[in-house]
């Protein structure tokens, strides 16, 4: 055999190895070329950075960022960073922002029926039941229909995060009767504006970060916002030491997560599925966190901040219910979509609340057994 001749097996090996190397290169190169950078989204909340509500917005963003392995990165700015709190819907619809975190009641001025997801007694439902109606009782479809009626077709909306019943508010002196609201300069939002206006108050719908400064300057006599933690962080105890608990003006409310729809639709199907899961995970986590944090701050408000809490008199609650029924009747006669939403909520509530009332055992009896009668304020 000629020494310069390569044996056939070796020739085949070299040929195979060379082809393999070229093939590997052909596979690796496109992977490197097609590797995409993470999709980034700039969001804004409708809340001041110090409010726990902004923390909830950050919690949701972190869940999405983590669950997508960093393929989607949401950055959430506080209210006013890009647009005013009440300008969030338009900013997301136009694509000025990629998304946002707020509540439907803040869009009240564009279509008052939007506030049916956050104002009033919700026919006896709590916030979690309201979310059940939204997901399974037709609420989601009605919201899309309502948005379309005002030309909002470029927003993908998700509702989540059941809120606890909100206090009646912070006052200079305790509210003892419905007439105490006459002439009172009062802050609220959504359809609660109609309710307290009907009670005789002069209502101003300010975003969260502007309420305490307005009370401090005397532009407001009283105000409500949401919960013990938010109210404490926003500084309510610095301008008032009297808080009235229990009210029907916002006894069932939820948060809204918004995406710019064209940007949302452009995401891979798998990523959109992750977002849907993150919404529900964040909803559960928010409800658990709120119980822990609100109860701690309630203790701090009573102890460290020397706030006096009073139960809203039944006479005030009864007037709220009477006026609410009148508001629903009037607005339903003026707005067909308003009427459709009211009828849908009421039908769902009639079934769900009856089941709940018949099934759930009294927690008040158990609390009295283990901790005794509650101390009066």
Per-residue model confidence (pLDDT) at position 375: 67
* 58 and 135 share one domain: yes
260 shares a domain with 243? no
Domain range for 176: 169-248+310-359
Residue 19 lies in a domain: no
Within-domain flag for 261: yes
Residue-level pLDDT at 376? 61
Q: What is the 3-state secondary structure (H, E, C) of the chain?
A: CCCCCCCHHHHHHHHHHHHHHHHHHHHHHHHHHHCCCCEEEEEEECCCCCCHHHHHHHHHHHHHHHHCCCCEEEEEECCCCCCCHHHHHHHHHHCCCCEEEECHHHHCCCCHHHHHHCCECHHHCCHHHHHHHHHHCCHHHHHHHHHHHCCCCCEEEEEEEEECCCCCEEECCCCCCHHHHCCCEEECCCCHHHHHHHCCCEEECCCHHHHHHHHHCCCCCEECCCCHHHHHHHCHHHHCCEEEECCCCECCEEEEEEEEHHHHHCCCHHHHHHHHHHHHHHHHHHHHHHHHHHHHHHHHHHHCCCCEEEECCHHHHHHHHHHHHHHHHHHHHHCHHHHHHHHHHHHHHHHHHHHHHHHCCCHHHHHHHHHCCCCCC
144 domain residue, yes or no: yes
| Per-residue confidence (pLDDT) for residue 373, from 0 to 100 | 79
Both 346 and 261 in one domain: the answer is no
Asked if 233 contacts 50 with a C-beta cutoff of 8 angstroms, the reply is yes
- Give the Cβ contact number of residue 75 at 10 Å: 14
Predicted confidence at residue 33, as pLDDT, reads 36
Region 304-326 average pLDDT? 98
Instruction: State the pLDDT at residue 37.
Output: 82
pLDDT tier at 32, thresholds 50, 70, 90: very low
Give the whole-number percent of the chain exceeding pLDDT 70: 89
Q: Does the pLDDT of residue 17 top 90, yes or no? A: no
How do residues 151-200 score in pLDDT, each as one tens digit?
999 999 999 999 999 999 999 999 999 999 999 999 999 999 999 999 99
Give the confidence band of 31 by pLDDT, cuts at 50, 70, 90.
Answer: very low
pTM of the model: 0.87
Q: Are 235 and 50 in contact (CB under 8 A)?
A: no
Mean pLDDT (whole number) for 16-38: 45
284 and 336 housed in the same domain = no
> In this predicted structure, what is the pLDDT of residue 24?
39
Q: What is the pLDDT of residue 142?
A: 98
Residue 199 lies in a domain: yes
Q: Domain of 206: which CATH number?
A: 3.40.190.10
pLDDT tens profile 339-372: 999 999 999 999 999 999 999 999 999 999 999 9
Q: What is the pLDDT of residue 287?
A: 98
Q: 258 and 244 share a domain?
A: no
CATH number at residue 153: 3.40.190.170
The string over 187-199, giving b where at least 16 C-beta atoms fall within 10 Å of a residue's C-beta and e elsewhere, is bbbbbbbbbbbbb
> Is the domain of 205 the same as that of 188?
yes
Domain count for the chain, please give it.
Answer: 2
């Amino acid at each position: 055999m000629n020494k310069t001749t390569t044996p056939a097996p070796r020739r085949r090996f070299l040929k195979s190895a060379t082809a393999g190397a070229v093939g590997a290169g052909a596979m690796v190169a496109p992977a490197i070329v097609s590797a995409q950078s993470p999709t980034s989204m700039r969001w804004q909340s409708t809340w001041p950075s110090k409010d726990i509500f902004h923390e909830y917005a950050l919690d949701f963003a972190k869940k999405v960022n983590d669950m997508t392995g960093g393929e989607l990165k949401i950055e959430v700015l506080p209210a006013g960073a890009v647009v005013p709190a009440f300008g969030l819907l338009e900013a997301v619809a136009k694509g000025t922002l990629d998304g946002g975190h707020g509540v439907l009641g803040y869009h009240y001025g564009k279509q008052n029926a939007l506030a049916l997801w956050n104002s009033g007694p919700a026919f006896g439902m709590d916030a979690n039941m309201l979310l059940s109606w939204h997901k399974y009782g037709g609420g989601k479809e009605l919201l899309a229909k309502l948005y379309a009626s005002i030309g909002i077709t470029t927003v993908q909306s998700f509702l989540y995060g059941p809120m606890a019943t909100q206090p009646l508010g912070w006052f200079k002196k305790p509210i003892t009767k419905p007439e105490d609201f006459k002439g009172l300069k009062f802050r609220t939002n959504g359809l609660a504006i109609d309710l307290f206006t009907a009670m005789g108050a002069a209502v101003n719908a300010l975003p969260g970060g502007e309420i305490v400064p307005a009370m401090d300057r005397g532009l407001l006599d009283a105000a409500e916002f949401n919960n013990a933690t938010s109210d404490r962080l926003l500084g309510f105890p610095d301008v008032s030491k009297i808080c009235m608990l229990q009210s029907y003006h916002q006894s069932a409310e939820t948060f809204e997560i918004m995406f710019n729809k064209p940007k949302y639709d452009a995401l891979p199907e798998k990523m959109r599925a992750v977002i849907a899961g993150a919404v529900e995970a964040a909803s559960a986590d928010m409800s658990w966190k709120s119980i822990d944090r609100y109860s701690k701050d309630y203790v701090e408000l009573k102890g460290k901040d020397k706030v006096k809490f009073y139960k809203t008199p039944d006479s005030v609650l009864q007037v709220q219910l009477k006026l609410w029924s009148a508001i629903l009747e009037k607005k339903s006669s003026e707005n067909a979509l308003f009427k459709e939403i009211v009828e849908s909520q009421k039908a769902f509530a009639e079934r769900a609340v009856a089941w709940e009332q018949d099934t759930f055992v009294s927690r008040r009896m158990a609390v009295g057994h283990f901790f005794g009668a509650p101390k009066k304020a």
